Chains A and B, each alone.
Chain A
Amino acid sequence: MLKIRIFVFLSFGLGILFGNPDIRAQEKKVLRWAADAEGNAPYIFQDPKIPSNIIGFEVDIVKAICNVLKVKAKFVQNQWDGLIPGLERNDYDIAINGLEITEDRKQVVNFSDPYYVTHEQLVVMKGVDYINELSDLVGRRVGALKNSLAERILRAKGGINVITYEGEVNAFVDMKNGRIEAVLVDAPIALYFTGTNPEYRIVGQPIGEISYGIALRKGDTTLLRRINFAIETLKKSGKLREILEQWKLWNFMMSSFLSDFSPSNVPPRKYHEFLEAVGRRGDLVSRIWLYLDFMPLFFKAALVTLGISILAMLLAIFVGLVLSLMRVYGGKILSWFAIAYIEVIRGTPLLIQLYFIFYALPSIGIKFSPFIAAIIGLGLNYAAYEAEVYRSGLFAIPKGQIEAAISLGMHKSQAIWHIVIPQAIRIVIPPMTNDFISLLKDSSLVSIITMIELTKVYYQIASSYYDYLGTGIIVAIIYLLLGLPFVRLARAFEKRLVIESAAKRDKL
């Protein structure tokens, strides 16, 4: 009976997991474009004035393209590393975010014609006068973004100790702390970072050449032709130049690329707005005002984190209970299956599991939205741990309890459900609370599968404002506050349930 019951539970559970409707359905006339809003000024970043707004020169270009094509732009947030895999997942139609047109990438996706041409630029600390060109770097520690043209240039030069970073802010902070002596980055980054951080400065001549293109799926050739047509239109109409000039990005390379050598006549309005807005963070008072501005964003993100955590925990409790019952009462085959599941899940990193669910499963036709994938990933992972907790809880109930129930005519499954589980719950509540608190914290990992939750918002804001400390403390406090009520709740619940202590029961 029990076996049948578990099987029904299980298939019901799987039904929930895989019954998710395909979210691929897209409306016509909407161009879904993806980028990582994690603070790459001037590319795509949060508006310092209204943090929930996404701005940047690439945002302007996408809007202009959509204007030409007469379609509606729909922004899709995606981790920068995952922009190309996300195209293959069909989460969006195009990706644009400082994606350099390289031979490697061309193997996987199509690129539009370049919309911007620029170069690499050296940045050092103010007062460093012994670095002026590439050859000055030999024998020194130099930072660059991972997999960037800058990294390849530095490595090709030879003799340079290249340190790579995920984000440029980390590289600049490391340089300030003396761990590296120079940073080689794309010119727009250098321009905007040094503009808002006067202790850094740009040195030397332009190095190398980078072309940014819009990435599309290999198959989408019609869309590629339309995008190229739009870019061409923007180039001819001068709209592209206008956008770049507003952001102070018009450079000699663009001049020769577009054969347009006329003097600049559009003021770099958006560049100055950025400097002004970010400059606000100077003194403590304005900084606190700035943090208050972020609160709605943090609040929304905290709700997402909480929602994911609670739903994932519910899934973990359900699957964990089924697994533990399979393991304890399920007979050879079911218990073997449960053990295999638990060992595999506990023996592999959660991060890999999340990647697998989000990026690998779509290739065999199972596709989840980031929200569902996050819940499934966290839930199924924690189910393995919950199963072990419940197992020890079930074992802690004396065998005589089941026998007493069975000798009263109950089936084994009824005995487990009505007699064993209610008693086991008391035992497992404290460890479950601990698990929920860790799940809450582990939910920060789902930022890598494009979920915009608390940690992701922290990255976005911190890197937009080059402020990891203040926002970091705020986020830490929010995580702490999120967990507290559950600790309290569990304690109260526990108190109510523990009518008789284990010691008193032994008296019988």
Chain B
Amino acid sequence: MSEIILEIKQLSKSFDDHRILKNISLSVRKGELISIIGRSGCGKTTLLRCINCLERFDSGYLRVGGIEIERRYFQAVQHSKGNSNSNHFNNSKKYKLEEEYQEKANQIRSRVGLLFQNLNLFPHLTVLENITIAPQIVRKEHKTTATERAKALLAKVGLSDFENRYPYQLSGGQAQRVAIARALAMNPELMLYDEPTSALDPELVGEVFNVMQDLHNEGMTQIIVTHAMNFAKSASDYVIYLEAGEIVEIGRPQDLFSSPRDARTEAYVRLFKE
């Protein structure tokens, strides 16, 4: 059994008074490909954003590789109420906690690649520059090193001829592959994909999934939020069904899709059978 690279315990997140994630616990081993499925608004995207620390979860425990973040409920209250509530905490202690959090969040982000639903390539940079900018800025890589690696990554995602194009000159599938290459350039230990194919024309979906499949074969750990049940079924090691901010069921794809244990999972899975 390989090591557990991502560990989540009792993670909760609310927006205003609406609880988006309720006590999520989950662990992912190195090299696994996990699919998260569920209805729109079930919290899938928020979960990915919490793992990447783009969203600050209210309470719970998150570990990526050796970086741990633990937050308790009152810290979230502190944060949302700002300066008004200094009884529990004096400001300097609060500041120190905040510093610590930011530092860890940054470390986690540099180990986790996140692909967005709507890509967010940098429109003012060429394909090559899109890939090299983060290594140059964040890791202070030399331009030639970064460029060399970017070219290798572009070859890997099958876009060698596109390095001097601008994002608007790419098709959706090409853009998504560039985005994957851009994330890979940071040598992530974990890749997160937020509905990577939902904005693509059906004939382009395959090229993106192929890249993910290749990465899986190379041993990359990946979590995919998706509505593409066929891919979830055929490629994942595990599938997670999320509903109303809770994990309803985790299982091997063949089990979860053919013989779900929970009625809610069954109801959802049935939608795709017709």
Stretch of A86-94, A137-145, A367-375, A498-506 that contacts chain B: A498-506
Q: Which of A472-508 contact B (CB under 8 A)?
A: 499-501, 504-505, 507-508
* A410 near B168: Cβ-Cβ < 8 Å: no
Q: A407-B112, A504-B168, A508-B175 known; A401 and B106 CB under 8 Å?
A: no
Q: A400-B118, A403-B54, A409-B109 known; A499 and B134 CB under 8 Å?
A: no
Contact flags A392-431 to B (C-beta < 8 A → 1, else 0): 0000001011011111111100100011001100100000
Would you give the shortest CB distance from B178 to chain A, in whole angstroms?
A: 11
Would you give the shortest CB distance from A451 to chain B, in whole angstroms?
A: 40
Counting chain A CB atoms within 10 Å of each CB, which of B106, B138, B168 scores highest? Answer: B168
Q: Using Cβ atoms and an 8 Å threshold, which residues of chain A touch B202?
A: none
Would you give the shortest CB distance from A423 to chain B, in whole angstroms?
A: 5
* B114 near A508: Cβ-Cβ < 8 Å: no
Query: Per a CB cutoff under 8 Å, which of A398, A500, A501 touches B167?
Result: A500
* A422 near B124: Cβ-Cβ < 8 Å: yes
Q: A408-B134, A409-B106, A508-B118 known; A499 and B124 CB under 8 Å?
A: yes
Would you give the shortest CB distance from B185 to chain A, in whole angstroms?
A: 8
Q: Which of B124-145 contact A (CB under 8 A)?
A: 124, 133-134, 137-139
* B166 near A508: Cβ-Cβ < 8 Å: no
Query: Per a CB cutoff under 8 Å, which of B114, B124, B166 touches A407?
Result: B114
Whether B160 is near chain A, meaning CB under 8 Å from some CB there, is no
Would you give the shortest CB distance from A147 to chain B, in whole angstroms?
A: 54
Considering the complex, give the chain A residue whose CB is closest to the CB of B122: A419
* A499 near B120: Cβ-Cβ < 8 Å: no
Considering the complex, give the chain B residue whose CB is closest to the CB of A505: B123
Considering the complex, give the chain B residue whose CB is closest to the CB of A399: B120
Q: What is the CA–CA distance of A423 and B175 in the complex, to the nearest angstrom? A: 19
Q: Using Cβ atoms and an 8 Å threshold, which residues of chain A touch B167?
A: 500, 505, 508
Whether B182 is near chain A, meaning CB under 8 Å from some CB there, is yes
Would you give the shortest CB distance from A403 to chain B, in whole angstroms?
A: 6
Would you give the shortest CB distance from B33 to chain A, in whole angstroms?
A: 20
Considering the complex, give the chain A residue whose CB is closest to the CB of B109: A409
Whether B110 is near chain A, meaning CB under 8 Å from some CB there, is yes
Q: Using Cβ atoms and an 8 Å threshold, which residues of chain A touch B124?
A: 422-423, 426, 499-500
Would you give the shortest CB distance from A284 to chain B, in whole angstroms?
A: 56
* B121 near A508: Cβ-Cβ < 8 Å: yes
Whether B113 is near chain A, meaning CB under 8 Å from some CB there, is yes
* B54 near A500: Cβ-Cβ < 8 Å: no
Would you give the shortest CB distance from A421 to chain B, in whole angstroms?
A: 10
Q: Using Cβ atoms and an 8 Å threshold, which residues of chain B touch A405?
A: 122, 134
Would you give the shortest CB distance from A497 to chain B, in whole angstroms?
A: 8
Q: What is the CA–CA distance of A401 and B114 in the complex, to the nearest angstrom? A: 13
Considering the complex, give the chain B residue whose CB is closest to the CB of A497: B124
* B109 near A407: Cβ-Cβ < 8 Å: yes
Q: What is the CA–CA distance of A403 and B106 in the complex, to the nearest angstrom? A: 12
Q: A403-B120, A500-B123 known; A409 and B168 CB under 8 Å?
A: no
Q: What is the CA–CA distance of A508 and B123 in the complex, to the nearest angstrom? A: 9
Whether B183 is near chain A, meaning CB under 8 Å from some CB there, is yes
Whether B157 is near chain A, meaning CB under 8 Å from some CB there, is no
Q: A410-B137, A418-B133 known; A500 and B114 CB under 8 Å?
A: no
* B113 near A407: Cβ-Cβ < 8 Å: yes
Q: What is the CA–CA distance of A508 and B175 in the complex, to the nearest angstrom? A: 8
* A404 near B116: Cβ-Cβ < 8 Å: yes
Q: What is the CA–CA distance of A500 and B167 in the complex, to the nearest angstrom? A: 9
* B52 near A407: Cβ-Cβ < 8 Å: yes
Would you give the shortest CB distance from B162 to chain A, in whole angstroms?
A: 15
Whether B250 is near chain A, meaning CB under 8 Å from some CB there, is no
* B166 near A499: Cβ-Cβ < 8 Å: yes
Q: What is the CA–CA distance of A403 and B122 in the complex, to the nearest angstrom? A: 11
Q: Using Cβ atoms and an 8 Å threshold, which residues of chain A touch B82?
A: 332
* A407 near B168: Cβ-Cβ < 8 Å: no
Q: What is the CA–CA distance of A422 and B120 in the complex, to the nearest angstrom? A: 15
Q: Using Cβ atoms and an 8 Å threshold, which residues of chain A touch B109?
A: 406-409
* A400 near B168: Cβ-Cβ < 8 Å: no
Query: Per a CB cutoff under 8 Å, which of A332, A409, A500 touches B138?
Result: A409
Q: A407-B113, A407-B114, A409-B134 known; A507 and B168 CB under 8 Å?
A: yes
Q: Using Cβ atoms and an 8 Å threshold, which residues of chain A touch B116?
A: 400, 403-404
Q: Which residues of A contact B (CB under 8 A)?
A: 332, 398, 400-401, 403-411, 414, 418-419, 422-423, 426, 499-501, 504-505, 507-508
30 A-B pairs whose Cβ atoms sit less than 8 Å apart in the complex: A398-B120, A400-B116, A400-B118, A403-B54, A404-B121, A404-B122, A405-B122, A405-B134, A407-B54, A407-B113, A407-B114, A408-B109, A408-B134, A408-B138, A408-B182, A408-B186, A409-B134, A409-B139, A410-B138, A414-B138, A423-B122, A426-B124, A499-B124, A500-B124, A500-B168, A504-B168, A507-B168, A508-B118, A508-B172, A508-B175
* Interface contacts beyond A401-B120, A409-B110, A499-B124: sample of 6 additional A-B pairs, CB < 8 Å, sorted by A: A400-B120, A419-B133, A423-B123, A500-B124, A508-B118, A508-B119
Closest 5 pairs between A and B when the two form their complex, measured CB to CB? A409-B110, A404-B120, A504-B168, A408-B134, A400-B120
